A and B are shown apart, each in its own frame.
Chain A
Amino acid sequence: MTDSKYFTTTKKGEIFELKAELNSDKKEKKKEAVKKVIASMTVGKDVSALFPDVVNCMQTDNLELKKLVYLYLMNYAKSQPDMAIMAVNTFVKDCEDPNPLIRALAVRTMGCIRVDKITEYLCEPLRKCLKDEDPYVRKTAAVCVAKLHDINAQLVEDQGFLDTLKDLISDSNPMVVANAVAALSEIAESHPNSNLLDLNPQTINKLLTALNECTEWGQIFILDCLANYTPRDDRESQSICERVTPRLSHANSAVVLSAVKVLMKFMEMLPKDLDYYGTLLKKLAPPLVTLLSAEPELQYVALRNINLIVQRRPEILKHEMKVFFVKYNDPIYVKLEKLDIMIRLASQANIAQVLAELKEYATEVDVDFVRKAVRAIGRCAIKVEQSAERCVSTLLDLIQTKVNYVVQEAIVVIKDIFRKYPNKYESVIATLCENLDSLDEPEARAAMIWIVGEYAERIDNADELLESFLEGFHDESTQVQLQLLTGIVKLFLKKPTETQELVQQVLSLATQDSDNPDLRDRGYIYWRLLSTDPVAAKEVVLAEKPLISEETDLIEPTLLEELICHIGTLASVYHKPPSAFVEGSRGVQHKRLPGSAGSGESVDSPDTGSAAGVSEAPPAVIPSQGDLLGDLLNLDLTPPTTTGPPPPTSGMQMGAMDLLGGGLDSLMGDESEPPPIPLRTDTPQSPQLSHQSPSPPDYSPTELGGDLGGNPAMAAGFGAPPAVMPTSFNAPVSGGLDDLFDLGGGVGMPMGSYSPPKTVWLPAMKAKGLEISGTFARRSGVIQMEMTLTNKAMSVMTDFAIQFNRNSFGLAPAGPLQVLTPLSPNQSIEVSLPLNTVGPVMKMEPLNNLQVAVKNNIDVFYFSCQYPISMLFVEDGKMERQVFLATWKDIPNDNESQFQIKDCHLSSDAASNKLQGSNIFTIAKRTVEGQDMLYQSIKLTNGIWVLAELRVQAGNPNYTVSLKCRAPEVSQSVFQSYEAVLKN
């Protein structure tokens, strides 16, 4: 007779019937009824209505029945909290039962009933059970503390259970120790600052002793706990390693992996010249290899971890290539991971064997596996230079198979081989071109186009090939479109005579007919480049590109270190830090490997030393003062206020939101709506008034890298004549086309304003090796932030992004920071970041101060810099004479400021020309008593006009500038620009 009969009652009125049976006098009948209830519960029926009747069966001396009732309670207590109280008495009584099995059962079940009211009653029984004479009860009670802590942490602390739990680490029974360690680790994990596991050499010693005696699971708890400890010195580290290594011989793979985690971490502290260090390295390889004979899921976990271990300590498995050869019956996830490790272990010594294997795999049938195998051949070529030729010929063999996806994949990797070894294998291009028609995947098409563009001068019919793609331009994916644009521009620069038509066609397709902002922008950039300076265009587009390196697929070192500390866990399987996938763990400190012995690092607190996580970085917020913002933005919209001096700037702390600290996530641009630009029309009239409304509304961090094309400032900037209206796109397009080939014609356009030399903004010392120097420039109406990023650290930097704090003129990056290749140590890269002025506005002190956050794979760094205000002088800043006169009179004299420029030896005309280059326009010139008076106008990006009178006296090197503006705050900065422009 089996239990399945309990599932078969489906009659009507079942609940009613069960109720009667539950209240039966006969023990046997009662038990049968409870079983039926549990059976119904198992298949998902709601039997909560029977709660009181089932609870009534709780007081029984039949253990099986008791267990079933407890099971029922765990399931339904939460939905019936009031009635659950009924069960408390029995629990309390059971906790004093002479049978330890029942005491343990009661304390175990009580902890699983997550009803607040019950937890209070749990405390006394739990206290007794923690001191029970039977270890079975104590080990169960230890876990119960963790359960209770999960429900009511405060209660657990108040009742002193945590201390009792700590005492249990010294318990005589290893199972109790193991469960106490597990419970403490669990609590510590959810309360990282509780300092619960203050491991010291004494406790470590106790743990290591228990390690030899407890069950396999207990060993894992203890090993995982040990992995959080940082030994005081290399000797302690070695002695722990010595006591942990025997665990590598345990039959349970999880014990082995946890032991590997401890050893990998503690090994960091051992001096490499120590004999023991070498011994340990040798001991690690065999158990890792043996993990590959485990069940496939465990193999998978092992392989993901071996992938990390091989990156951190390649020497461990360097001779074990063969064990990673793929077996026909391996599950696909094992096959793919093995491939990855094969590439990591590939070296000159074993490359022949590896290639033979990869070629074999490439003829398999599983598409994903085959693709990865082909890709792997390419990666081998890039990694082992001596093998490149052999890899290329293997790939050519594979292309001959004409299997569509093999061909496409091969072309993609050959492109990368070209990027690593330029001008070496272009003899294969002919073969590649033969397969042009069969390419239907965007990545392969883009790769092919890149190759044709890159080697256009050596391919006779390059123009035909590229033209064939152009026909269906709009049906291509962005990837292909961008590549085609670049490819054709390259072709044009190499063979300008025959390909004019082609380049015009692609430029107009990209700029006129596409609504993809990236494509359009790239189109415009090429266009301007070609139309203004084809020599520069050649230098830019055909510049020598940095070679790619094999490191691109390596895990970034700090992440790798963190993952090594998480060996065996989900983090090591995903290759992501726990904070990336566990909710509420953002504040949790990232784990780090301890510093090595003799490196001089303090080993006392390695977890806090260099490991400052994002959350700990000091936000560089400078409280801004005064709400002059309104004035700045509105002066030319509202009638001038004649009430005198501007509002005082002191004592008006704005509740400025910390854009830099909190807005990191928005660096990646996952917010969809840009916040409003704060436009305030109510200029504070008096200090008192402004005290009453001290803070503007909070603005959320702005979205960066928004739609470039939709930004009027940028669009205007792209147009050739300065006066082009931003809304009309066709005007600049046709204009640009006309002068595109009129290259020598000397377009009379000012070629950009004064740009100060680069200065160091962010010293390497303050930014973990990243040095940034930079300057600002205004070119063709676009404000550019030009930076040199230098990597002075020892590791590769990737994933750059930039963000600005709110600033006086709403400067914001117009696109993401384009650092496409990883920055190798000692490498510098020049980056030009176009800016727009539609970002959020907040007055800064000084006015032209800009606070910047730059992020890379290592951390986030903050610095501030000052931009010359002349960057903001727009091209259409020439005022009509009449307007000028009227405005001059209209602005109160109080708003006028006068400055002296000393030691300037320019004639007034030369000065005028020079200033015009920076969009300071001379409207009129008057000569009075040998003194030239230049009347000039400037318009800022936010619409503020500045009027100026420049007095130049022949023979006198001192100029006088008078500035009039409705927002006199800008005068000082404008004057500085005058000085800078005239003196450079």
Chain B
Amino acid sequence: MSASAVFVLDLKGKVLICRNYKGDVDMAEIDHFMPLLMQHEEEGLICPVISHGNVHFLWIKHSNLYLVAMTNKNSNASLVYSFLYKLVEVFTEYFKELEEESIQDNFVVVYELLDELMDFGFPQTTDSKILQEYITQEGAKLEVAKSKVPTTVTNAVSWRSEGIKYKKNEVFIDVIESINVLVNANGSVMSSDIVGSIKLKTMLSGMPELRLGLNDRVLFALTGRDKGKTVVMEDVKFHQCVRLSRFESDRTISFIPPDGESELMSYRINTHVKPLIWIESVIEKFSHSRVEIMVKAKGQFKKQSVANNVEVRVPVPSDADSPKFKTSTGHAKYVPEKNLVVWTIKSFPGGKEFLMRAHFGLPSVENDELEGKPPITVKFEIPYFTVSGIQVRYMKIIEKSGYQALPWVRYITQSGDYQLRTNV
């Protein structure tokens, strides 16, 4: 169905740790993985699936590790990749950093986790918070806990344990919207969308029932209300705690939240958004002598709002030298290892316009290697504001002990994949 075996390899392809789940593939097959990967890389055709005879390797890379699943069946590939990424998530939550050292330092726990996360190729319990209740890094602790399987493991509510207690019951809600924009060289917006995410930090006792109300246009239409601004969400994805069939039938977002931090939902909005920070650039390249760059950045959002930590990243040729900058605000820095000029503006009020000029020398002997045309990218954060206008209208919290709990909401808009192509 999915994986016959899972391997963690170092950058050279040496097996750091592995687990054979089904015993139907020779474990030595993994030796073919790295040479094939190198060959594909040389040919410029890397692919997430590599096959050698009847054996297929599905792999991802994380820091200095390769995580590889091996199979000889028609496996569910999307399940395998999801599982590998889940593996990264769980290991990271256990060891803070997932890298070669942390695998070696914790190999006993890694084995235990591999045993619990998957059985005979079927992923099992992968929620790290629950796993941490019965697989711990401290041997001593374990002996105390060992007499119990957390009922959560097999509960319908498999993401929250019972008996959680807080003195003060609070929920923090973060609404974060990322803007993806692709602008072509002549300044027209090719595509744009908003990917929103609602994150929770839950500090609630017991098993609370929560209901989240948004200004969702479909919901308003269903209930016949039509006052105020509403938002059309193109596609919504929920954490598994949300009752999907309930949402499907009456758009109610109801759930028992996981404890602590989690992403409750994400959504995508397709409406055409005005790029919040608009960039106009003139890049003139005089072969064998110099490059001149002029970049104008304009804040196309409300005057009351301020964008923080704005970074405009402008590509320059790899053989450029002797940079000179002039900026109307903020400061510019040359990052030669990335062939970029990074122009940083700590605080960028709406409606304002700033300018940056850069001058680079070019060697008289031209680099004959063809270079790509990387786009200008922009990073920013605008607090207390969402582009889509989405709002949390209410968060109802009901627990059988009847405590009062307070929800706190924060809004933030930030750049996502924000690319502006240049004409050089």
- A-to-B contact residues, CB < 8 Å: 2-4, 6-7, 31, 35, 38-39, 42, 44, 62-64, 67-68, 71, 74-75, 99-101, 104, 108, 111-112, 114, 134-136, 139-140, 143, 146-147, 150, 173-176, 179, 182-183, 185-186, 189, 212-217, 220-221, 224, 243, 245-247, 249-254, 257-258, 286-287, 289-290, 293, 295-298, 300-302, 322-323, 325, 327-329, 331-333, 353, 356-357, 360, 363-368, 566, 568-574, 578, 581-583, 585
Instruction: Find chain B residues with CB under 8 A from A333 CB.
Output: 45-48
Interface string of B254-285 (1 = CB under 8 A from A): 00000000010110100000000000000000
Complex interface: chain A residues within 8 A of B101 (CB):
4
Q: B391 at the A/B interface (Cβ < 8 Å)?
A: no
In the assembled complex, the Cα of A396 lies from the Cα of B15 at a distance in Å of 51
For the complex formed, measure the closest distance between the CB of A177 and the CB atoms of chain B, giving whole angstroms: 11
CA distance A39 to B103 in the complex (A): 12
Question: Taking the nearest CB of chain B, how far is it from the CB of A636, in angstroms?
Answer: 51
B49, B72, B104, B263: the one within 8 Å of A583 (CB): B72
Contact of B120 among A143, A363, A566, A573 (CB under 8 A): A143
Answer whether A42 and B107 are a contact pair too, CB < 8 Å, given A114-B23, A301-B78.
Answer: yes
Smallest Cβ distance from A523 to chain B, in angstroms? 36
A572-B78 Cα distance, complex, nearest whole Å: 10
Q: Which of B60, B108, B154 is the one whose CB lies under 8 Å from A136?
A: B154
Q: Is B375 an interface residue (CB 8 A)?
A: yes
Centre residue among B45, B56, B122, B235 by max chain A CB count within 10 A? B122
Beta-carbon contact of B44 and A253 below 8 Å: no
Choose one: B23, B75, B108, B373; the contact of A364 (CB below 8 Å). B373
Residues of B within 8 A of A243 (CB): 245
A221 to B234, CA, bound (A): 27
Q: B-side interface residues toward A, CB under 8 Å?
A: 1, 15-17, 20, 22-24, 44-49, 51, 54, 56, 58, 60, 71-79, 81-85, 101, 104-108, 111-112, 115, 119-126, 134, 139, 142-143, 146-149, 153-154, 156, 158, 182, 184-185, 190-191, 193, 195, 234-240, 243-245, 247-248, 263, 265-266, 268, 370-375, 417, 419, 421
Task: Offer 27 A-B interface pairs, CB within 8 angstroms, sorted by A.
Answer: A2-B106, A3-B107, A39-B107, A42-B17, A71-B111, A71-B115, A99-B147, A101-B148, A183-B120, A216-B82, A224-B76, A251-B238, A251-B239, A258-B79, A286-B234, A289-B234, A297-B81, A297-B84, A322-B190, A323-B191, A323-B193, A325-B191, A327-B182, A328-B375, A353-B190, A357-B190, A366-B44
Q: Are B115 and A293 in contact (CB under 8 A)?
A: no
Are A185 and B74 also in contact (CB < 8 A) when A64-B108, A217-B123 are?
Answer: no
The interface residues of chain A lying within 8 Å CB-to-CB of B119 are 108, 140, 143, 179
Provide the residues of chain B in CB contact with A323, threshold 8 Å: 191, 193
Pick from A224, A296, A322: contact of B48, CB under 8 Å: A296
Given contacts A366-B44, A570-B49, 17 further A-B contacts (CB under 8 A): A31-B139, A35-B108, A42-B17, A44-B15, A71-B115, A108-B119, A147-B120, A212-B244, A215-B126, A215-B158, A217-B123, A224-B76, A247-B244, A258-B76, A333-B47, A365-B371, A570-B75
Instruction: Kindly identify which residue among B77, B247, B268 contacts A570, using a CB–CB cutoff of 8 Å.
Output: B77
Chain B residue nearest to A35 (CB atoms) is: B108
Q: Residues of B contacting A42 with CB < 8 Å?
A: 16-17, 107
B77 x A301 contact (CB < 8 A) = yes
Contact present for B154 and A139 (CB under 8 Å): yes
Given contacts A327-B417, A569-B75, A583-B54, contact A3 B44 (CB under 8 A): no
Closest approach, in angstroms, between the C-beta of A403 and any C-beta of chain B?
8
| A253 to B76 Cα, complex, angstroms | 12
Work out how many contacts link A and B, with CB atoms closer than 8 A: 263
- Answer whether A143 and B122 are a contact pair too, CB < 8 Å, given A2-B105, A62-B143, A224-B76: yes
* A215 contacts across to B, CB distance below 8 A: 125-126, 158, 240
- Docked-complex contact A325 and B108, CB < 8 angstroms: no
- Nearest-neighbor residue (CB-CB) of A173 within chain B: B154
- Taking CB atoms, residues of chain B closer than 8 Å to A104 are 149
- Chain A's interface: helix, strand, loop or mixed, by majority? helix
| Residue numbers in B under 8 Å from A300 (CB-CB) | 47-48
| Cα of A186 to Cα of B122 in the assembled complex, Å | 10
Shortest CB distance A138–B (Å): 8
Q: How far is the CB of A200 from chain B (nearest CB, A)?
A: 23
Q: CA separation between A4 and B102, bound complex, in Å?
A: 9
Tell me which of B23, B49, B139 contacts A64 (CB under 8 A): B139
Which residue from chain A places its CB closest to the CB of B136 in the assembled complex?
A64
* A176 proximity list for chain B (CB < 8 A): 154
